[in-house]
Amino acid sequence: MHMKYPARTGKASRGAAGGDGMQRGGTHAAADDKQREQLRTAQRLWIQYRDANCLYHDLGEGTIARLDAGECMRSMTAARAKELENLGHQ
């Protein structure tokens, strides 16, 4: 899943402050990079969790187990997508 997030550039801090604002903008960019990398790490770990959690359903007996596993993947992924979407609205 590839998510696009609008880049935050720190332009608001660059206004009348001159060079000092530019320095703060660079600090904001570095913080944004760290935050993006942390989100990537969290997402990779979440995918491992989802897969392990839904494997439980897939190990059940009968064909219904596969349906349960598929529903688990679908519902967990939909909930995570909504959670990630809400991150942009904070």
| Within a domain: 7 | no
| 2 lies in some domain | no
Tokens 């880049």 belong to residue: 7
CB atoms inside a 10 Å sphere around CB 69: 19
pLDDT of residue 55: 92
**What's the predicted TM-score (pTM) here?**
0.62
Predicted pLDDT at 72: 95
For residue 49, which phi and psi values (nearest 5 degrees)?
A: -60, -50
* Chain segment 81-90, per-residue pLDDT in tens: 999 999 877 7
Structural domain boundaries, residue 49: 17-87
In this predicted model, what pLDDT tens digit does every residue of 33-57 receive, in sequence order? 999 999 999 999 999 999 999 998 8
Which phi and psi (to 5°) does residue 83 adopt?
-60, -45
Instruction: Summarize pLDDT for 58-80 with one digit per residue, the tens.
Output: 888 888 888 999 999 999 999 99
Query: What's the number of domains the chain is made of?
Result: 1
Is residue 55 in a domain?
yes
When computed from its CA atoms, the radius of gyration of the chain, rounded to whole angstroms, is 20
Q: Is 74 part of any domain?
A: yes
CA 57 to chain centre: 25
